């Protein structure tokens, strides 16, 4: 079976017979010499590609503004030193992954351990003081010693005569308010011993507080991973001396990423939480849909912008710090119908985009266009160069020369 290559309506110089093969689908024309098309040169084309012709459709696209932003981690913390000392342990370097509660940084704690031992000694002394004060208090309560003859230094006479010489005369013989009151003296002695007991308890509490404070500082000497993540940036090395408040490292969870953008106040009426917007990542021209996750309640008083964070899909390529562009709707402009074509139809030469237009008499022709924003991940709007209803090749023809490619510079 033979096939007339002229049915393709391509201007050719020389052709050979096109044969069919049971293992191939479609018919293939082999062009031996240069095949010239006005405005460009085409080397080879199969019938499946030639048949991939679509009509330029119209789509209502809302006016939007492209804003630049940065990719940030959903969870990121900066670990700082809580105690002064020398770094004695670093778990890893940038890019290393860790689990929750893994030790990331450790500061030398020999000085803290010495202070803790001193506080324990004070606590033990306070316990001994409490026991002694309790014994003295109980003895005075049940067997008063303040009036004891043995403690008053008598002259060895019988008890009555000893009391006459050791106690004041008015307290022994004068009645009424002129003499002393043994009950009042005893209560004063009991109160004094009770005060000593309270002071011993307070010393114990003070020592206990010192121990708890030192234990907290010992815990702060170790920096633990607050969640599963990776070290993003390391600011110290093993052996460095740090002070409280000094940054040690940045730690982040890169499982979920966001794009942070400063949105002008005039555009805020076009955004609401949960809304999906197109986002372009500065990594191989990746385009995804981002969800409005957080809108800050206060605008920047100098730039008059509001910070908005957009959630990115899980496992999107890239990482924090990467540049991204977000298409924010422009509420002050109305939507309009524009030509929309598949992204696969666009060829690039530097920053110039072009498409192959399918014609009836002259075959595919290369035409420069000006593209606008992406309608979705696979289609792009055309601002000029194409009209609605024209027919183009949905997949850019292979073998184009002159520096044209599928990737923009």
- 66 DSSP β-pair partners: 327
Tell me the chain's radius of gyration from C-alpha atoms: 45
Q: Give the pLDDT of the chain (409 residues) as one tens digit per residue.
A: 333 433 333 333 333 333 333 333 332 333 222 333 333 333 334 344 444 888 888 876 667 788 999 999 999 999 999 888 899 999 989 989 999 999 999 998 888 888 888 889 988 888 888 888 888 878 777 777 655 545 444 444 555 555 555 555 545 544 444 445 677 777 777 777 778 888 888 888 888 888 988 888 888 888 999 999 999 999 999 989 889 999 999 999 998 999 999 999 999 988 999 999 888 888 777 888 899 999 999 999 999 999 999 999 988 888 888 999 998 888 776 667 788 888 888 888 777 888 888 887 777 888 898 887 777 767 888 888 888 888 888 887 655 555 666 666 5
- Predicted TM-score of the model (pTM): 0.57
- Copy the structure tokens of residue 92: 């890893």
By CB neighbour count within 10 A (0-12 exposed, 13-18 middle, 19+ buried), where does 331 fall?
middle
- The reported pLDDT for the residue numbered 385 is 87
Element (H, E) at 392: strand 391-393
Residue 103 near residue 91, CB atoms below 8 Å: yes
- The reported pLDDT for the residue numbered 43 is 32
- The reported pLDDT for the residue numbered 4 is 42
- 77 DSSP β-pair partners: 251
Dmax (CA) of the chain: 153
Residue 392 near residue 56, CB atoms below 8 Å: yes
Collapse the DSSP code of 276 into the 3-class scheme (helix H, G, I; strand E, B; otherwise coil) and give the result. Answer: strand
- Please write down the HEC assignment for all residues of 287-346: EEEEEEEEECCCCCCCCCEEEEEEECCCCCCCCCCCEEEEEEECCCCCCEEEEEEEHHHC
- Copy the structure tokens of residue 127: 């316990």
Among 393, 380, 374, which residue's Cα sits nearest to residue 341? 380
- The reported pLDDT for the residue numbered 380 is 83
Contacts 24+ apart (CB under 8 A), 88-97: 88/238, 89/238, 90/234, 90/236, 90/237, 90/238, 91/231, 92/231, 93/231, 93/234, 94/231, 94/232, 94/233, 94/234, 95/230, 95/231, 96/230, 96/231, 97/228, 97/229, 97/230
Residues 385, 392: Cα–Cα separation, whole Å: 12
């Amino acid at each position: 079976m033979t096939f007339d290559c002229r049915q393709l309506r391509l201007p050719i110089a020389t052709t050979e017979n096109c044969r069919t093969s049971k293992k191939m689908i479609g018919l293939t024309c082999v062009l031996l010499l240069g095949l010239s098309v006005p405005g460009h040169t085409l080397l080879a084309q199969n019938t499946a590609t030639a048949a991939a012709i679509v009509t330029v459709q119209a789509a209502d696209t809302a006016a939007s503004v492209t804003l630049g932003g940065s990719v940030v981690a959903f969870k990121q913390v900066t670990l700082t030193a809580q105690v002064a000392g020398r770094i004695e342990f670093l778990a890893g370097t940038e890019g290393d992954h860790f689990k929750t509660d893994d030790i990331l940084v450790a500061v030398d704690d020999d000085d803290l351990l010495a202070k803790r031992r001193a506080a324990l000694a004070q606590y033990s002394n306070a316990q001994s003081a409490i026991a002694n004060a309790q014994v003295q208090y109980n003895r005075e309560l049940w067997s008063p010693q303040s009036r004891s003859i043995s403690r008053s230094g008598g002259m060895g006479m019988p008890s009555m005569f000893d009391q006459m010489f050791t106690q004041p005369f008015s307290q022994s013989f004068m009645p009424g308010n002129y003499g002393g009151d043994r009950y009042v003296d005893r209560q004063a002695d009991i109160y004094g011993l009770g005060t000593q007991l309270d002071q011993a308890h307070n010393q114990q509490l003070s020592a206990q507080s010192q121990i708890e404070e030192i234990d907290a500082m010992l815990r702060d000497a170790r920096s633990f991973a607050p969640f599963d993540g990776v070290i993003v940036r390391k600011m110290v090395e093993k052996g460095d001396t740090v002070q409280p408040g000094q940054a040690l490292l940045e730690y982040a969870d890169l499982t979920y990423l966001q794009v942070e953008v400063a949105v002008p106040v005039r555009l805020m009426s076009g955004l609401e939480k949960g809304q999906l917007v197109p986002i372009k990542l500065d990594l191989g021209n990746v385009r995804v849909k981002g969800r409005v996750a957080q809108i800050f309640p206060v605008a920047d008083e100098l730039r008059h912008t509001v910070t908005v964070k957009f959630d990115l899909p899980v496992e999107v390529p890239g990482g924090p710090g990467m540049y991204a562009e977000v298409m924010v709707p422009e509420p002050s402009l109305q939507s309009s119908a524009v030509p929309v074509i598949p992204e696969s139809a666009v060829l690039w030469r530097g920053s110039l985009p072009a498409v192959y237009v399918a014609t009836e008499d002259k075959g595919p022709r290369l035409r420069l266009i000006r593209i606008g924003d992406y309608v979705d991940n696979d289609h792009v709007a055309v601002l000029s160069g194409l009209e609605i209803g024209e027919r183009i090749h949905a997949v850019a023809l292979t073998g184009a020369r002159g520096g044209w490619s599928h990737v923009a510079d």
